């Protein structure tokens, strides 16, 4: 599991055994490897054509962190769309070199037809190659590794491989943070901005290390009632798996094993962040806790607090956009439907497993 070929082979084996998909996963893994090689070559050339990349100034990233379905996508895209910072689009994660991007950009409409984003239910998560997306995807594309690999593919393996993705067991921080820095510098140059706004749901368990590597970072951690978060996140993931492989046609024991693993991993993401926060391992001046309920019902004053935390003086247009969005937020109704029973969950179990969320965050 410590090498790219071993991860590709494990993923191929898990999907072949579970879904009978043998060629597709192998081609995907080889495609990721090819993109990685092309990216390495292009990025070596980038500083020759984009001298701003040689600027050694430390990064000041704004990072939205939190479990899927806690408002991270909305907050991330709102900040990017109003130029609080630059956001990385999905195609830029696939083709991270600025030289590559000059070549690929004209072909984006054609590439969109073959994008894996076509398997997403737009009622759950609207996306596409030109959408600003979670930077977890960039780690998957670059290293074929991380929570994406476990949650979407390797949680189907006979052996539970979650420990391979536990930062306390297998530390990939140096590798991952170096990659994020290289990607974010290119995002800033590409968009002509001096700050990046990123989103990384898997960063919760390793925030102390991240803040050590990026001491000027500011983190917005989103929290929401787990009774809504967990089934919604599981619906999002299984929706993609069903559209691509037919997840709900699997035998019930296979589905149950996978869903139990996914649930455990999602709870653990919150638990690890909470443990570090309570132990004082996360500097309070670098992390701001964002309540989903306030994001929906108290948007205008909340955004004022967030912008002060980020050290951003809002322009007149940004203030107007916040006021307009506040009206929209109060009447918003999601079209994403889900229920606990479908995922073998019970409210009492969630409340017990996530008691720390209710006690300290909500």
Domains and CATH numbers, the chain: 4-297+332-360 (3.40.50.300)
**Cα–Cα dist 164/166, whole Å:** 6
Structure tokens at 60: 């000041």
Read off the pTM: 0.91
Per-residue pLDDT of the chain (362 residues; tens, 9 = 90+): 688 888 888 988 998 899 987 666 666 666 777 778 888 899 999 999 999 998 888 999 999 999 999 999 999 999 999 999 999 999 999 999 999 999 999 988 887 776 665 544 544 446 678 899 999 999 998 998 999 999 999 999 999 999 999 999 999 999 999 999 999 999 999 999 999 999 999 999 999 999 999 999 999 999 999 999 999 999 999 998 998 899 999 999 999 999 999 999 999 999 999 999 999 999 989 999 999 999 999 999 999 999 999 999 999 999 999 999 998 887 766 655 568 999 999 999 999 999 999 999 98
Phi-psi region of 159 (alpha: psi -120 to 50; beta: other; left: phi over 0): beta
- Contact indicator for 345, 339 with CB cutoff of 8 Å: no
Of the CA atoms within 13 Å of residue 321, those in its CB half-sphere come to 13
Q: Is 227 exposed, middle or buried (0-12, 13-18, 19+ CB in 10 A)?
A: middle
């Amino acid at each position: 599991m410590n090498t790219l070929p071993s991860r590709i082979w494990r993923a191929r084996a898990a999907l072949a055994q579970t879904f009978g998909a043998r060629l597709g996963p192998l081609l995907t893994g080889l495609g990721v490897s090819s993109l990685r090689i092309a990216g390495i070559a292009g990025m070596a050339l980038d500083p020759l054509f984009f001298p701003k990349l040689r600027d050694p100034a430390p990064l000041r990233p704004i990072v939205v962190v939190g479990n899927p379905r806690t408002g991270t996508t909305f907050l991330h895209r709102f900040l990017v769309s109003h130029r609080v910072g630059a956001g990385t689009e999905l195609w830029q994660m696939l083709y991270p070199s600025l030289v590559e991007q000059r070549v690929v950009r004209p072909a984006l409409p054609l590439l969109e037809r073959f994008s894996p984003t076509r398997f997403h239910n737009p009622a759950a998560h609207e996306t596409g190659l030109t959408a600003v997306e979670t930077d977890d995807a960039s780690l998957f594309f670059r290293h074929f590794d991380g929570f994406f690999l476990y949650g979407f593919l390797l949680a189907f393996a006979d052996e539970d491989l979650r420990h391979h993705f536990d930062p306390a067991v297998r530390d990939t921080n140096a590798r991952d943070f170096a990659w994020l820095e290289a990607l974010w510098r290119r995002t800033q140059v590409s968009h002509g901005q001096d700050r990046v706004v990123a989103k990384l749901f898997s960063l919760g368990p390793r925030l102390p290390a991240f803040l050590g590597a990026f001491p000027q970072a500011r983190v917005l951690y989103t929290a929401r009632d787990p009774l809504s978060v967990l089934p919604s996140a599981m619906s999002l993931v299984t929706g993609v798996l069903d559209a691509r492989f037919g997840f709900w046609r699997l035998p019930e024991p296979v589905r149950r094993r996978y869903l139990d693993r996914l649930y455990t991993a999602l709870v653990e993401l919150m638990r690890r962040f909470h443990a570090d926060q309570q132990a004082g391992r996360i500097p309070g001046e670098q992390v701001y806790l964002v309540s989903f309920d306030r994001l929906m019902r108290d948007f205008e004053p909340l955004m004022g607090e967030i912008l002060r935390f980020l050290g951003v003086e809002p322009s007149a247009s940004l203030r107007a956009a916040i006021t307009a969005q506040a009206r929209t937020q109060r009447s918003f109704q999601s079209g994403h439907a889900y229920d606990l029973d479908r995922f073998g969950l019970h409210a009492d179990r969630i409340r017990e497993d996530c008691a720390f969320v209710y006690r300290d965050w909500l």
